[in-house]
Amino acid sequence: MTDAAGERTGAQLKRGLRIATLLVAVAIAGGLGGANLMRHWDVYEWPVAQVVALAMLAAVLACEAVLLVRRRPWNRLRWAAVAVVLAASALSYATLPDGRTSTTTDWIFGAANWAGFTVLLDRPLRTSAGFLAAHELVALLHLFLFDEPDRQALARFATGSVTVIGFPLCVAVGAAVLRGLSAAATTAQRELERVRVVEAVAAASHRRRQQRFTELSASTIPLLEGFADNSLRPDDPAVQRLCAIEAARMRRLFAETDTVADPLVHELRHCADVADRKGVEVELDTRGQWPTPPVAVRRDLTEPVLTVLATAASRARVTVVGSADLVSVSVVADSGEVDVPDPATPGVLVETLRNDETVWMEVRWQPTAPATR
């Protein structure tokens, strides 16, 4: 399951919970609350105020239904809707007959809580708890200011508060757990995808290294076998030259796996390190900016350079000049006669000039030319 699929599943679960909460709020506020309002119509001194309070809750629930159909959250309208719910609660209690707090006449006690909670369903648990506490406080103020808070009234209020606060709070806890599980599942899925990508990259890198080691073995193993059977002598200058070339190729191979800003220059520095260890004075100069060549192209660009550097006697100079349309790597050294294989990548050209014991070699690559990786 991808991140998109996981997010869709989480969104569907949240939407389902949102619909269920809205249906409960409509049933309690519009159904049970409206029925209690009509049943005790003659008890209210200002029944129109109760109707207005019910209409305010209905307007909030209607807005929630519209937002659900359009699949949109409350956003900036959220706190305005909460204010409307609390205002409806205050209006209802202001015109509620004395001694009727938390009775069936007090229809809004068990209706406004669900209406406000519907608006705050996707908010943190502390937000929903804060709203429920504010709703309880409005009812409690009416109880102490306009009723006689005897033991029976307080017990009735406490019993009613269990359902008024408890049920919505349980749903809020479930919504918070659902959000946490959704976030944890998304994080776990992303981590799994990251691990898979890392493993795929490592496997591809391992395959490339195996391929390169196979290529190197074609030229390295004969040297080792020659040393083993004494057919090659370490003091032979030709053998030393071959060993230096193979050492430079290995250094380049190791450098190919490094993560650097400019892989071409990085690999050239590793190739130059072999000549530097022999006491050859190597200068490396770069000019311009160029796109990063593919690995195959970098090998063709560096192969003539490492061959010349590995066979240089005392001095060498490497210059890299590039732009968006052309990359040129040149080397001049006192290496004498060198044998460089032809580039394997189309679009890579090699030019060589010799003068006595000095050789100048340039390798050019055009990024726009077709190249294989």
pLDDT in tens, 157-173: 777 777 788 788 888 78
**Residue where a domain stops, chosen among 191, 224, 245:** 191
DSSP code, position 333: E
pLDDT tens track for 284-318: 999 999 998 998 899 899 988 888 888 888 999 99
| Domain CATH code at residue 350 | 3.30.565.10
What is the per-residue pLDDT for 77?
Answer: 86
CA 239/CA 237 separation, integer angstroms = 5
- Residues 173 and 249 grouped into a single domain: no
pTM recorded for the entire structure: 0.49
Higher pLDDT among residues 261 and 100, named by residue: 261
Is 209 inside any structural domain? no
CA-CA distance, 310 to 333, in Å (whole number)? 10
If asked whether residues 282 and 355 sit together in one domain, one would say: yes
Q: Quick one: 159 and 251 in the same domain?
A: no
Are residues 7 and 115 both part of a single domain?
A: yes
Q: State the average pLDDT for the chain.
A: 82
**Same domain assignment for residues 9 and 82:** yes
- Judge whether residue 209 has pLDDT over 50: yes
159 and 244 both lie in a single domain? no
Residues 51 and 181 in one domain: yes
225 domain-assigned? no
Q: Give residue 369's pLDDT band: very low, low, confident or very high (50, 70, 90).
A: low
What does the pLDDT read at residue 4?
Answer: 58
The confidence score (pLDDT) of residue 371 equals: 45
Residue 130 lies in a domain: yes
**Tokens matching residue 170:** 């349980």
User: pLDDT (tens digit, 9 = 90+) per residue, 318-327?
Assistant: 999 999 889 9
Does a structural domain hold residue 206? no
Above 70 in pLDDT, residue 10? no
Average pLDDT over residues 132-161: 77
Q: What is the spatial distance between Cα 359 and Cα 331, in angstroms, rounded to a whole number?
A: 8
Range of the domain at 272: 233-365
Residues 6+ apart with CB under 8 A from 262: 286, 292
In whole angstroms, what is the distance from residue 51 CA to residue 34 CA?
A: 9
Domain boundary among 134, 167, 191: 191
CA distance 223 to 293: 31
* Residue 198 belongs to some domain of the structure: no
- Whether residue 10 is found in the same domain as residue 159: yes
With a cut of 90, say whether residue 363 has pLDDT above it. yes
Give yes or no for a contact between 110 and 163, defined as CB atoms under 8 angstroms apart. yes
What average pLDDT does range 337-345 have in this prediction? 80
Q: Give whole-number Cα distances, 60 to 80, 82, 86, 111, 124, in Å.
A: 10, 9, 11, 12, 20
Average pLDDT of span 357-371: 80
pLDDT grade, residue 264 (50/70/90)? very high
How many domains is the chain built from? Answer: 2
Could you give the percent of the chain with pLDDT greater than 70? 94
pLDDT tens digit sequence for 27-55:
888 788 878 788 878 788 888 888 898 89
> Are 19 and 167 part of one and the same domain?
yes
Confidence of residue 275 (pLDDT cuts 50, 70, 90): confident
Instruction: Kindly state the greatest CA–CA separation across the chain.
Output: 120
pLDDT of residue 72: 87
Tokens of 48: 């129109």
Cα angle value 311/317/322 (rounded, 5°): 120
Do 172 and 123 touch, CB atoms closer than 8 A? Answer: no
Domain boundary among 133, 164, 191: 191
Question: Is it the case that residue 373 has pLDDT exceeding 60?
Answer: no
Token digits for 132? 């429920």
Regarding predicted confidence, which is higher, 7 or 273? 273
Q: Report CA 373 to chain centroid distance, whole Å.
A: 29
Average pLDDT over every residue of 119-125: 82
User: Residue 352 domain-assigned?
Assistant: yes
Type of residue found at 249: R
State whether 122 and 243 are in the same domain. Answer: no
CA separation for the pair 17, 217 (Å, rounded): 64
Q: Residue 125: which of 67, 92, 169, 63 has the closest Cα?
A: 169
* 196: in domain: no
* pLDDT greater than 50 at residue 243: yes
Question: Whole-angstrom Cα distance, residue 20 to residue 22?
Answer: 5
User: Two tokens at 234?
Assistant: 């370490």
pLDDT for position 372: 43
Q: Is the pLDDT of residue 338 over 80?
A: no
Q: Give the span between the Cα atoms of 278 and 243, in whole angstroms.
A: 12
Q: 81 with 172, same domain?
A: yes
Cβ count near 193 (within 10 Å): 13
Q: How high is the pLDDT of residue 320? A: 94
Q: At CA 175, angle to CA 172 and CA 180, rounded to 5? A: 125
Residue 5 has pLDDT above 60, yes or no: no
Query: Within a domain: residue 83?
Result: yes
Indicate whether 147 and 296 sit together in one domain: no
